[in-house]
Structure 1
Amino acid sequence: MRLEELQWFVTLAETEHVTVAAAELKVSQPTLSRALARLEEQAGTPLFDRVNRRLRLNAYGHIMLEHARRSIAEMHSAGDRIAALLDPDRGRVRLAFLHSLASWYVPEQLRRFRDAVPGIGFELFQGPAHEITQRVLTGQADLAITAPRPDGAGVVWRGLYVERLCLAVPPGHRLATRARTRLSAAAGEPFVALAERYGLRQVTDELCAEEGLVPDIVFEATEIPTMEGLVAAGFGVAVVPVPREDAGPTRSVHVALTNRGAKREVGLVWQRDRPLAPPARRFVDFLAGP
């Protein structure tokens, strides 16, 4: 099976539609169907269930998809490492990062790094903590900038900085006039939070558990600005990072939290068992030092 045909399979698995996948890949439908037939013959089983002229990836197909993505990522990584050895000032870094770092930290660090090493390019992906860590583990990303520190022994962690957390409340709220408070003061309040698998939600849940607080979560968002907007509109309170001084005005009020655990550490992760290509190693050293 050629690497190109593995990529065809990944696209077909993601679209689950031969016509759509063929158009995206710019190959004919018969060519794509023959490639799939060869792959299924090698696997010894169908990888899709055929339902009403549509494809549905089955359990065998999900296994093949996982390994196909990993194989493609490894081949790209090999090419990047060879290119970097030929010219250490050139190459590519596949970087994943949190949504909440997309508006300031990541762009600023990329600008600084590209000023220093203009020959190294980036392939970027933003998403929630669990998703970007998974991309590192499957080889789809070289590095991830995430928070909090992921569980498990499959990645290396390098801390970058610590972000304090605060309680966002609506204007005129009973806690809005306080300079600081413990999270327990928000007992009985409706909460706006991120979805359960998001990193900041994990930190929030830990803070609540330490306080013996069972939050009444009225809405689960996917981004912090959405949380802030709903808090300002009076939907509830939320645990969010302390706004930066240059971030501009917000309509919610931010009250410092005195809980010791009211912080999240932002750091770099990469796969423990795979050596970093020189461009990625150079970016790690640039951000965190040797």
Structure 2
Amino acid sequence: MHLEELRWFVVLAETEHVTEAAAELGVSQPTLSRALTRIEQKAGVALFDRVGRRLHLNEYGRIMLEHARRSISEVQAAMDRIAALRDPDTGRVRLAFLHSLANWYVPEQLRRFRETAPKIQFDLFQGAAHEIARSIVDGGSDIAITSPRPDPADFSWHRLYVERLCLAVPVGHRLAARTRVNLSAAADEPFVALEKPFGLRQLTDELWTDAGIDPQIVFEASEIPTMEGLVAAGFGVAVVPVPRDGTDARVVHVPLSNSQAKREVGLAWRRDRPLAPPSQRFADFLIEG
């Protein structure tokens, strides 16, 4: 089947509506419907369940969608690599990174890199560790700055730096005056935590287990600023990375003395796919510091 038809199928699968998909693609509804018929004939099975005028992607369609996205991504990656080989100072890097690195590390590295390679462009994806890993596997991103280290069987990895974790407590808390604290000292405290399967939540779960803590979790957040805000409001305490700047004056960050209270941040990319020249150049830049 043609690559263009695969692109049409992806849009149709995302909208689940022929009229909306045709408008977005700038093609007629009959043209799109005929393309879908050809794809389903080649697949040998219906990819959507028809309910009235709407379409609902079925289990066969979800398989096709996964591989269609991957095929489109592979062709785009090939085009990017060819373009980069023709002119190594241009090209595109599809970079994924953690939410918690968005306000300091990633912008600073992008600024520094663009001073040396101003013609290289970036497609950026910001997400949680599990979303980043899926983006790399599916081909939506080429390289990621993430934590913790993803599965070594599927990903190559280079550590960039290690940051310590701390206990965030509200001003006036009984542990706020400590210079360091073992997490076990907060065993009876209510905790604010990230949702599963965020990478920081995975590390926090491991720390709780090592400290023998069965935590009372009062709220599961989707980002660290929300955790900090709830700590400031007195809802509980939280395990967070040691802040770099712009900290909330209502929150005290007490370094944790636990030996495993640290987060390794590094570069990850697919083990079975060589990086395109622009991505390799960016990776080398970060690794060299």
Q: Which category describes the TM-score, using the shorter chain as reference length?
A: over 0.9
* Counterpart mapping for 1:198-209 below 5 A: 198-209=198-209
Q: Does 1:36 align with 2:36?
A: yes
Query: In the alignment, which residue of structure 2 is the partner of 1:109?
Result: 109
Q: Note closer, same or farther for the CA distance 1:205–1:4 as it changes in structure 2 (3 Å cut).
A: same
Q: How large is the RMSD of aligned CA atoms in angstroms?
A: 1.3
Report the alpha carbon displacement of residue 167 of structure 1 after superposing the two structures with TM.
0.5
State the SS of the aligned residue for 1:279: helix
Report the 3-state secondary structure (helix = DSSP H, G, I; strand = E; otherwise coil) of the residue aligned with 1:92.
strand
Q: CA deviation at 1:289?
A: 2.6
The CA distance in 2 between the partners of 1:13 and 1:251, in whole Å, is: 46
**Map 1:209-220 → 2, pairs under 5 A:** 209-220=209-220
One-letter amino acid of the counterpart of residue 50, structure 1: R
2:201 matches 1:171: no
Equivalent residue, structure 2, for 1:123: 123
Q: Hey, what's the Cα distance between the residues in 1 that align with 2:66 and 2:240?
A: 34
Q: Could you report, residue by residue, the CA deviation over 1:229-251 in whole angstroms, capped at 9, with x for unpaired residues?
A: 1111111111001011x334442
Cα 1:230/1:248, change in 2 over 3 Å: closer
Match of 2:47 in 1: 47
Instruction: String of CA shifts for 1:53-102, please: whole Å, max 9, x gaps.
Output: 22111111111011101100100000000001100111000001101111
CA–CA distance in 2 between the matches of 1:177 and 1:32?
Answer: 66
- Structure 1's 248 and 207: CA in aligned 2 closer, same or farther, altered over 3 A? closer
* One-letter amino acid of the counterpart of residue 43, structure 2: A
Q: Relative to 1, partners in 2 of residues 1:62 and 1:169: Cα closer, same or farther, differing over 3 Å?
A: same
* 5+ residue gaps, structure 1: none
Q: Which residue of 1 is the match for residue 94 of structure 2? A: 94
Structure 2 CA distance for aligned equivalents of residues 31 and 177 of structure 1? 69
Per the alignment, residue 68 of structure 1 pairs with 68
Q: Partners in 2 of 1:15 and 1:61 — Cα distance?
A: 13
Residue 270 (1) aligns with residue 269 (2):
yes
Number of residues of Structure 1 aligned to a counterpart in Structure 2: 289
Match for residue 251 of structure 1? 250
Q: Is the partner of 2:267 in helix, strand or coil?
A: strand
Which digits, 9 at most, give the CA deviation of each residue in 1:22-79, with x for residues without a partner?
2222222222221111111110001111123221111111110111011001000000
Q: Distance in 1 between matches of 2:19 and 2:172?
A: 56
- Find the aligned partners of 1:228 and 1:26 in 2 and give their Cα distance: 45
Match runs of 1:132-147 below 5 Å: 132-147=132-147
- 1:154 corresponds to which letter in structure 2? D
Q: Which runs of 4+ in 1 moved over 6 A?
A: none
**One-letter identity of the residue aligned with 2:272:** D
Percent of aligned pairs with the same amino acid = 72
Q: 1:253 Cα deviation (Å)?
A: 1.2
Residues 144 and 250 (structure 1), Cα distance of their counterparts in 2 relative to 1, 3 Å cut = farther
Taking the aligned partners of 1:268 and 1:188, their CA distance within structure 2 comes to 37
Deviations 1:208-231 (A, max 9, x none): 000111111111111111110111
Change (3 A) 1:250 1:136: farther
**What is the CA–CA distance in structure 1 between the aligned matches of 2:23 and 2:172, rounded to whole Å?**
55
CA–CA separation in structure 2 for the residues paired with 1:217 and 1:51 = 42
C-alpha distance after superposition, 1:131-169 (max 9, x if no partner): 111111111110011001112411100110101100001
